């Protein structure tokens, strides 16, 4: 099968999968109790919402329509990324997602942490693969297993205690100084100063997620490299007098990188799911923190939109990883 045929088949499969995700996402939230009959409690306005206002809210969210009309409206909304209005704030979900910086904050935090985890994990995995059983290997494997096993809330609180409360090197939470929110004050520094301050606020939550994630890439790289280094072509490369760096990077890792590519693609695909615990601990206003608030307030439109976006990200990550396989390893045949 040619690459073009594979792409057409994979795109058709992806479109079908997206349709089932949309259908399942709709069924789950329609089956939840309290979507329409308990709107007073959902909005948190049971003491202030009168009957006329209540019916206007029902019409606003389309809860007065039959199920098939609601599904058609919902399907169109998902395809066009018009997710309706939040129960809690009565604002457009898409506007709240983009204009208020929620999406950017998560991309900043999770993107930085995921990239650092992949780089550190792969580098250390390659490093220890050539010295399996040594003290260096045992140290990094034990360290990675330890940080991978610790809960993120524990590591976050510990880092806050050490670097914020004790040493006072970094802020304990938030994304910027609260004084920046006061528009009447010219409190913001220049662009370079703003970047430095943002990095200070980013350091602790990004470090928490990096420590939690890098171990998986280290162990995966170490395992795949161990298999590759035992093959005959590595012995041939060493017999030719090639340097150890060339053997490890250009020969062994290139052939052992496919599982790492899959894991990396899925890691980037899950970025938009946010980091609920870490963002809550550090008061980081990202998608995870927003989703946590939506669950507590039963804000179904927000939850529905975020679950759909998360599913799309994972589907896209799988699609990209399948394409990258053939680019990295030409021996792979598309079937």
Report the mean per-residue pLDDT for the chain: 78
Closest listed residue to residue 112, CA positions, set 175, 202, 172? 202
Tell whether the model's pLDDT for residue 335 goes beyond 70.
no
Task: Name the residue with higher pLDDT: 318 or 250.
Answer: 318
pTM above 0.85, yes or no: no
Going from the C-alpha of 290 to that of each of 16, 33, 102, 280, 293, the distances in angstroms are: 29, 21, 8, 9, 5
Q: At what angle do helices 258-269 and 300-328 cross, to 10 degrees?
A: 160
What is the end-to-end Cα distance of the chain in Å, rounded?
A: 6
- Mean pLDDT score, 172-194: 66
Kindly report which listed range (160-174, 213-227, 235-249) carries the lowest average pLDDT score: 235-249
Going from the C-alpha of 136 to that of each of 63, 146, 158, 257, the distances in angstroms are: 61, 15, 26, 22
Q: Where in the chain is the domain with CATH 1.10.3720.10?
A: 102-285
Tokens of 327: 């680019």
279, 270 contact by CB (below 8 A): no
Beta bridge partner(s), residue 92? 85
Select the CATH number that applies to the domain covering 102-285 from these four: 1.10.10.10, 1.10.3720.10, 3.30.1540.10, 2.40.50.100.
1.10.3720.10
Q: For residue 90, what are the contacts with CB-CB under 8 A and spacing of at least 6?
A: none
224, 121 contact by CB (below 8 A): no
Residue 120's pLDDT is 92
SS3 content of the chain, % helix, strand, coil (to 5): 75, 0, 25
Q: For residue 176, what are the contacts with CB-CB under 8 A and spacing of at least 6?
A: 194, 197, 198, 201
Q: Cα separation of 3 and 95, whole Å?
A: 38
Closest listed residue to residue 316, CA positions, set 274, 267, 259, 258? 267
Radius of gyration of the chain (CA): 24
Task: Name the residue with higher pLDDT: 173 or 193.
Answer: 173
Tokens of 264: 């990396």
SS3 for 2?
coil
Residue 38's pLDDT is 47
Task: Name the residue with higher pLDDT: 282 or 63.
Answer: 282
Task: Name the residue with higher pLDDT: 183 or 101.
Answer: 101
90, 98 contact by CB (below 8 A): no
- Would you tell me how many other CB atoms lie within 10 Å of the CB of residue 199? 12
SS3 for 294?
helix
123, 99 contact by CB (below 8 A): no
pLDDT digits over 314-325, tens only?
888 888 877 776
pLDDT digits over 67-81, tens only?
777 788 888 888 888
Tokens of 142: 């034990």
């Amino acid at each position: 099968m040619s690459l073009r045929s594979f792409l057409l088949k994979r795109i058709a499969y992806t479109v079908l999968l997206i349709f089932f995700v949309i259908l399942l996402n709709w069924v789950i939230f329609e089956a939840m109790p309290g979507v329409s009959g308990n709107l007073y409690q959902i909005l948190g306005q049971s003491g202030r919402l009168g009957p006329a206002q209540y019916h206007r809210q029902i019409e606003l969210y389309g809860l007065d329509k039959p199920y098939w009309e609601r599904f058609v409206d919902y399907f169109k909304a998902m395809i066009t990324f018009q997710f309706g209005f939040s129960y809690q704030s009565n604002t457009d979900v898409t506007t709240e997602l983009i204009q208020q910086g929620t999406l950017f904050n998560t991309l900043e935090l999770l993107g930085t942490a995921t990239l650092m985890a992949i780089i550190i994990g792969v580098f250390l995995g390659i490093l220890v693969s050539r010295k399996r059983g040594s003290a260096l290997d045992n140290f990094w494997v034990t360290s990675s297993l330890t940080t991978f096993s610790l809960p993120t809330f524990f590591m976050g609180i510990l880092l806050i205690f050490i670097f914020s409360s004790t040493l006072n090197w970094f802020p304990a939470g938030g994304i910027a100084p609260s004084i920046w929110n006061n528009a009447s004050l010219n409190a913001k520094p220049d662009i370079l100063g703003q970047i430095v301050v943002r990095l200070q606020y980013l350091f602790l939550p990004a470090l928490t997620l990096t420590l939690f994630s890098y171990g998986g890439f280290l162990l995966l790289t170490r395992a795949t490299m161990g298999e590759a280094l035992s093959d005959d072509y590595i012995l041939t490369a060493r017999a030719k007098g090639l340097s150890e760096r060339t053997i490890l990077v250009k020969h062994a890792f290139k052939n052992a990188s496919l599982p790492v590519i899959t894991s990396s693609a899925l890691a980037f695909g899950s970025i938009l799911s946010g980091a609920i615990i870490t963002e809550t601990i550090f008061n980081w206003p990202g998608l995870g923190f927003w989703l946590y608030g939506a669950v507590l307030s039963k804000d179904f439109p927000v939850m529905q939109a975020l679950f759909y976006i998360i599913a799309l990200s994972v589907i896209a990550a799988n699609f990209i990883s399948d394409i990258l396989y053939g680019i990295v390893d030409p021996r792979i045949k598309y079937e």
